[in-house]
Amino acid sequence: MQTQTEQQTGTDWLAVLDEESRGLVAAVDAQPDGRRILEGTLDRDGYIHYLVQTYHYARWSTPILAEAGHRLNRLGRHPELAALLIQKGEEERGHDRWLLSDLKNLGWSEAQVEAAERSPAVDAYTGWNFFTSRSGVPTAVLGTAYALEYLSQTRAGVWAERLKAVAAIPNIHKSVTFLRSHGALDGDHVAEMKRILGPLTDPEDQEAILFSARVARAVYPRIFREGGASSHPLAR
């Protein structure tokens, strides 16, 4: 009988990566606020919480991706994946500004966003990615990137459309730039990653990428409020 690890590092490891990513989407949908944002009924505080927490990890995306790419180059491994990481770092540049702009249109200043408490999920997500980027297996960063872009291609555009259609949040039509832009871009980004990851046969890298996708699946859904609207508001 094959062990789980042998199965995962076989030729269809990309199918396992997709399975992890679908698991992430299901886990997000199962959160109370994840269900509400999909229905478009999420309230203002819940949406602000989501955007603020997203800001606190998205602001680190460019350095995390770039450092992973440059370190991979220094290690002399997988130049095509190093180039992909550096490219993705550039793609993510400025996405934190979209979040600040959406939040400003919801009445939250940059100073309030900066002062807001980060959730344990955000600390875990950024901590894990900084670790793999600077000190672990650097290709692992592609696992969290893939899972989140898969979520984004599946949900970001739909969330933006439904939030606008239900319009439960004042000024919502001016506050979905981050979601709308990712919905439009990330389908292509997932397809590109899949194409570039296709030839990767190194079991250590495959495992690191799958493990990181699993970390994203476990951690990311908890950036929403625990228990939905009944939870404590953010410190401001």
CB of 186 to Fe ion, least distance (A): 4
CB of 111 to Fe ion, least distance (A): 23
For Fe ion, which stretch binds (CB under 5 A), given 13-21, 133-141, 168-176, 181-189?
A: 181-189
95 interacts with Fe ion by CB under 5 A: yes
Task: Compare residues 89 and 138 and give the one whose CB is closer to Fe ion.
Answer: 89
Task: Compare residues 181 and 231 and give the one whose CB is closer to Fe ion.
Answer: 181
CB of 181 to Fe ion, least distance (A): 8
In sequence order, what DSSP letters do the residues of the chain get, joined into one string? ---HHHHHTSTTHHHHHHHHHHHHHHHHHHSHHHHHHHHT---HHHHHHHHHHHHHHHTTHHHHHHHHHHHHHHTT--HHHHHHHHHHHHHHTTHHHHHHHHHHTTT--HHHHHHSPPPHHHHHHHHHHHHHHHTS-GGGHHHHHHHHHHHIIIIIHHHHHHHHHH--STTGGGS-HHHHHHHHHHHHHHHHHHHHHTT---HHHHHHHHHHHHHHHHHGGGGSPTTGGGSPPPP-
Q: Which of 20, 67, 96, 186 binds Fe ion (CB under 5 A)?
A: 186
Q: Which of 78, 155, 189, 222 binds Fe ion (CB under 5 A)?
A: 189
Task: Compare residues 9 and 81 and give the one whose CB is closer to Fe ion.
Answer: 81
CB of 153 to Fe ion, least distance (A): 9
Q: Note the residues at the interface with Fe ion (CB under 5 A).
A: 92, 95, 149, 186, 189
